[in-house]
Amino acid sequence: MKFMLNGALTIGTMDGANVEMAEEAGEENLFIFGMRVEDVEAMDRKGYNAQEYYDRLPELRQVMDQIRTGFFSPAEPEMFKDIVNMLMNHDRFKVFADYEAYISCQEKVNDLYKNPKDWTKKVIRNIAASGKFSSDRTISEYAREIWGVEPSAVKIPPPNEPRD
C-alpha cells in the first residue's frame, strides 16, 4: 500500500492488501494474476502437489534446479536448500500453481512499461486512489476505533525547550 502511495504499480495475487487496493484503484490499475480465494480453496480440497508443476514446466524446473545446485550461490551451493524444500514440500501459498499466470502477467507489465503515456496514467490513477492508505488516516482510525482515544490539542515542546 505504501508503494502505491508513491506510484508503484502492484503485481500480485488477489488476496490480502491487494484486494483493498483493487477496491480503491480498480483492478484494471493493478497487475493481478493467479488463483482467487475460491480457486485456492478448491485446490486445497483436491490437493496441491508442487512436483506436478516441477515436472510439467521446463522453465520452472530449470530455475529450481539452478537454485538447488548452487548456480546462484557457487560459494555456498546449499545456501537456498531450505527455500527449495519449502517450495517443493511445504508451500502453503502454492507458488508453483501461479507460476504460469505470473509469467503471463509480467509480460503485460513489460508491454505497458514500453508505453510511457499509458504507464503514467496507471501510476497517476493509483496515486490518486491511495489516500485511504495514508498513515495519517490509518493512525486516526486506529486511535478512534481500536485504541478509543481522541486527538489532543496539547503542544509538546521541542526537547531543547524547558517544560513547565
Q: Is the pLDDT of residue 163 over 80?
A: no
Q: Are residues 123 and 147 in the same domain?
A: yes
In the chain, the number of structural domains is 2
The conformation of residue 130, written as its DSSP 8-state character, comes to: -
- Tell me the β-bridge partners of 11: 31
What pLDDT is stored for residue 1 in this prediction? 81
Is residue 155, in this structure, part of any structural domain at all? yes
What pLDDT was estimated at residue 155? 87
Predicted confidence band at 113 (pLDDT cuts at 50, 70, 90)? very high
In a domain, residue 68? The reply is: yes
Same domain, 86 and 163: no
The pLDDT score that the predictor gives to residue 13 is: 96
Inside any domain, residue 96: no
Which of 64, 90, 116 delimits the end of a domain?
90
Model's pTM, two decimal places?
A: 0.80
Contacts of 93 (CB under 8 A, 6+ apart): none
CB-based contact 70:56 (threshold 8 Å): no
Span 36-86, pLDDT tens digits = 999 999 999 999 999 999 999 999 999 999 999 999 999 999 999 999 999
- Closest by Cα among 29, 28, 33, 41 to 14: 33
Residue 11 phi/psi, 5-degree rounding, is: -120, 125
Is residue 161 located within the same domain as residue 132?
Answer: yes
In a domain, 97, yes or no: no
- Same domain for 152 and 113: yes
Is residue 66 located within the same domain as residue 119?
Answer: no
**91 pLDDT tier (thresholds 50, 70, 90):** very high
Asked if 82 and 131 sit in the same domain, the reply is no
Note whether 5 and 13 are within 8 A (CB). no
Q: Which range of residues forms the domain containing residue 34?
A: 1-43+102-164
